[in-house]
Amino acid sequence: MPTLQSAGIIRVTGSWIRLLTDWLDRVGAEAPALRAAVAAYSPTDNVPIADWSRMLEQAFALRPQDRAPTLDLASLVTLAHTGVLGYLAAACDNLGQALLSYQRFEQLFYGASIAQISAEAQDNTPCVSIRWQPLPAMAQVEEVAIAALVAITRQHLVRDVPLLSVHFHHQPDAQRRQALEAFFGCPVLFGQPQIRLVFAASVLTLPLMRGEPGLRGLLEEQASSMLRAVPESDEFLRQLQAELVRVLPEGEATIESLAPRLFCSVRTLQRRLDAKQLTWKALLDRTREQLACQYLADHSLSLLEVSMLLGYRNQGTFSRAFRRWRAMSPLAFRQQLRCS
């Protein structure tokens, strides 16, 4: 987990800072310079956390009469602001899976994995804690981030998630304290060494309100496109490749994880691949190459997002694989598509 000294590596996405434009629209503020600063970043750009902090300070200075502008801003969050990270979480079956997805793909949003999720107990109640190290002099950034995380959970994942406690590092005034406690609906502790959200472990099994059609549609579209490239008579490869598309973003694309989804043993699956003179590695490579070309054609996806959707742990590994497939970098391929 990054420390205070390494806070410089943290950033947010261009999609995220669009929240500020939505808030300015809501409060009726012109703020042309601030709007221009937000518009200077495309949705897939990386925005240094210090720049985001300065934007928040400038925005909230326009409304000194507001008791808790961070909460007003957070209440406007949608899945579109969170990019692939939010869509992947919302496509899960239950809250526990969504949390694991958040932890795996948090790097897409912050540029680093900064959250720690652990099981513990509070007042003899089994609970789950999500913890972050505080950033220096960025209380507004932290309030917006934590409040938005809770807001999007309530809106798109599980409507009633009973929080046991919320912890902040900073010490706000009495008005802000009351507003935060009302928003979270639980005890809010200040002056704590870490930022934390604590909730009962029992909520992990709660089903999500609905599968997110945005991501599901994206994956289904890619699966359909790839299946058209497989001979129609080969139902086995059609089913195998469709399942492979679905598990790639989870980072679990192994023959051991796919066999149960096809209701067969690993040995049986391997034997059926051998009969078609196809290795697991060759199938995985071919699937990733086909998907990569389609994802790169979607300019709303950053190269890191494409890497993660294909199940790679970092962008460098994906780039090396793509050069092996196409003898060019992913960026060069995307630029070639743009010019064609």
Kindly state whether residues 144 and 221 are assigned to the same domain. Answer: no
Mean pLDDT, the chain, rounded, equals 85
Same domain, 256 and 193: no
Q: Are 131 and 113 in contact (CB under 8 A)?
A: no
The per-residue pLDDT for 38 is 95
Top mean-pLDDT range of 81-95, 128-142, 248-262: 128-142
* Of 245, 219, 250, 224, nearest in space to 100 by CA: 250
Q: Are residues 95 and 229 in the same domain?
A: no
Same-domain pairing of 158 and 235: no
- Please count the structural domains in the chain: 2
Please tell me the predicted confidence (pLDDT) of residue 223. 52
Tokens 């590596």 locate to: 9
CB of 116 within 8 A of CB of 109?
A: no
Share of the chain above pLDDT 70, in %: 90
Model confidence band, residue 30 (pLDDT cutoffs 50, 70, 90): very high
102 in the same domain as 50: yes
With contact defined as beta carbons under 8 Å apart, do 212 and 153 qualify? no
Give dist(CA 329, CA 322) in Å, integer: 6
Average pLDDT over residues 278-282: 90
Contact present, 244 and 254 (Cβ < 8 Å): no
37 and 139 inside one domain: yes
Residue 191's Cβ-count burial label (10 Å; 0-12, 13-18, 19+) is exposed
Average pLDDT over residues 295-318: 84
191 and 217 belong to one structural domain: no
The mean pLDDT value for 85-109 works out to 80
CA gyration radius, the chain? 22
Among the residue ranges 43-52, 164-173, 210-219, the one predicted with the least confidence is 210-219
Domain check: are 217 and 114 in the same one?
no
**91 and 122 housed in the same domain:** yes
Q: What is the pLDDT of residue 1?
A: 38
What's the CA angle centered on 135, arms 162 and 101, to 5 degrees? 50
Same domain, 234 and 158: no
In this structure, the answer to whether residues 192 and 297 fall within a common structural domain is no
Residue 132's DSSP bridge partners are 195
Separation of alpha carbons 293 and 334, rounded Å: 8
The mean per-residue pLDDT over the stretch 277-300 comes to 87
Q: Which amino acid is at 313?
A: R
CATH (domain of 68): 3.90.1520
What amino acid is encoded at 295 in this protein? Y
Q: Is 115 helix (H, G, I), strand (E, B) or coil?
A: coil
Q: Which DSSP helix (H) or strand (E) runs through 204?
A: none
Q: Which of 145, 174, 205 is the last residue of a domain?
A: 205
Do 110 and 12 contact (CB within 8 A), yes or no?
yes
Instruction: Give me the residues paired with residue 122 across strands.
Output: 125
**Listed residues 188, 205, 222: the one ending a domain:** 205
Identify the pLDDT of residue 228.
Answer: 52
Residue ending a domain, among 187, 205, 223, is: 205
pLDDT at 24: 96
Report CA 184 to chain centroid distance, whole Å: 22
- Beta bridge partners of residue 47, listed in sequence order: 12
Provide the whole-model pTM: 0.72
Tell me which residue range forms the domain holding 248.
Answer: 213-339
pLDDT tens for each residue of 214-251:
555 565 555 555 445 444 456 777 778 777 877 787 77
CA dist 202 and 126 (Å) reads 8
Which stretches does DSSP call E strand in the chain? 11-13, 46-48, 116-122, 125-132, 163-167, 188-189, 195-200
Contact predicate 29/161, CB 8 Å: no
Q: Please indicate whether residue 1 or residue 300 has the higher confidence score (pLDDT).
A: 300
Q: Looking at residue 231, what is its pLDDT?
A: 45
Vertex 203, ends 197 and 207: CA angle to 5°? 125
* Residue whose C-alpha is closest to residue 301's, from 226, 214, 213, 220: 214
Same domain, 95 and 32: yes
Query: Comparing C-alpha atoms, which of 89, 93, 90, 132 is closest to residue 110?
Result: 132
Return d(Cα 138, Cα 237) in angstroms, integer. 51
The pLDDT score that the predictor gives to residue 36 is: 95
pLDDT tens profile 180-215: 999 999 999 999 999 999 999 988 888 887 655 555
Q: What is the CATH number of the domain that holds 302?
A: 1.10.10.60
Is the model's pLDDT at 122 over the cut of 80? no
Locus of tokens 């694991």: 100
